[in-house]
Amino acid sequence: MRDYTQEDPRDVSASKLGVNYIGLDGTIGCMVNGAGLAMATMDIIDLHGGKPANFLDVGGSSTVDSVCKSLQVIIDDNRVKSILVNIFGGINRCDVIASGISSALDILHKDAKI
């Protein structure tokens, strides 16, 4: 039996969405599709002096709602100062990703740096 009270709330939220999420200690949030692209993205951030705040793989069957809620998980991390979205268009429809980002910003009324 899983005890959600013993887990990081971000991990729990992401798990309920069905996305792969690992919280890290940096300030640059990452939304990526595909684990390999996510790892390469985090490596590039680190190479240029930044620190990734998370590993979030939205997968290949994203919807506007799942992208919106995934972005909310990232934005809810108070350490996140900016968000890098790196989506391979051959896996997901980029218009769906863009609509999900727009929806999240409308809901949260935040000026996130994406």
pTM equals 0.84
Give pLDDT tens digits for 42-91. Answer: 999 999 999 999 999 987 888 898 888 889 889 888 899 999 999 988 88
Query: What value, to the nearest 5°, has the Cα angle with vertex 89 and ends 62 and 66?
Result: 15
Give pLDDT tens digits for 98-108. Answer: 999 899 888 87
Q: What is the pLDDT of residue 41?
A: 97
Beta strands in the chain (DSSP E): 20-23, 28-32, 54-57, 82-86
Q: What is the mean pLDDT of the chain?
A: 87
Q: What tokens were used for 75?
A: 């934005």
Q: What is the pLDDT of residue 111?
A: 64
Per-domain boundaries in the chain: 4-108
Measured distance CA(75)–CA(110) in Å, rounded: 9
Measured distance CA(14)–CA(70) in Å, rounded: 7
Q: What is the pLDDT of residue 113?
A: 63
Measured distance CA(23)–CA(111) in Å, rounded: 22
Taking a C-beta distance cutoff of 8 angstroms, is the pair 85, 62 a contact?
no
What kind of architecture, by CATH, is found in domain 4-108? 3-Layer(aba) Sandwich (3.40)
Question: Is pLDDT at 110 greater than 80 in this prediction?
Answer: no
